[in-house]
Amino acid sequence: MSLTEQLDKMREGAKTRTPANIRATMAKAVDDLRASGIAERSLGEGEQIPAFALPNAHGETVRSADLLAHGPAVLSFYRGGWCPYCNLELKALQEALPEISGLGASLVAISPELPDKAMTTTEKHGLGFEVLSDRGNQVARAFGLVFTLAEELRPVYEAFGIDVPAYNGDETFELPIPATFVVDRDGTVRRAFVDPDYTRRLDPADVIAALAA
């Protein structure tokens, strides 16, 4: 089953488990975020990525320049290990890793979570690629992906047992819109996927097609 099919199935399942008033609150937040134009303002195809240096799950610094020195790169921004849609994406990327590596590309996942949370995510899913900690969303901000979680959603997340400030180590409630960028060796974005609806992601098959092209 493709990632897109898995996400569709999870989305439909969530509808049956979530009360109508909460579904409406979550849907409105997505609609408001889409209407804000943030996706259109984010880094797009043909643009250069900003240089970055971030710690991985082991505290070692990973630099974009070093990634690109070895070939193209796939950058996946996700909200956190608490997000089931993000976890589906990470597992699908892990399954696609041999093909991505076979095309000479590096794969890294980036979230605002603290390094120990990144380590938990890496170990839980047996990830063979770098999971980087973008504390304070500094890199995500440079890509134009950062938004503040709506006030009305915070008690909903709390009821789900999701403490965003605890995961991220700050009190901002800032998160990145999930996004995937396929970047060539000179740092140019060749494929960009940015969607304010966190339940939708770029399928690994499309990542591989972009790399092959």
User: Could you report the per-residue pLDDT of 192-205, keeping only the tens digit for each?
Assistant: 999 999 999 999 99
Q: What structural domains and CATH numbers belong to the chain?
A: 3-212 (3.40.30.10)
pLDDT of residue 136: 95
pLDDT of residue 203: 97
Beta-carbon contacts of residue 2 (< 8 Å; ≥ 6 apart): 92, 203, 205
Beta-carbon contacts of residue 152 (< 8 Å; ≥ 6 apart): 25, 28, 29
Segments of the chain scoring below 50 in pLDDT: none
pLDDT of residue 156: 93
Q: Is 161 exposed, middle or buried (0-12, 13-18, 19+ CB in 10 A)?
A: exposed
pTM of the model: 0.95
Residues in the chain: 213
pLDDT of residue 12: 93
pLDDT of residue 93: 97
Q: Is 19 exposed, middle or buried (0-12, 13-18, 19+ CB in 10 A)?
A: exposed
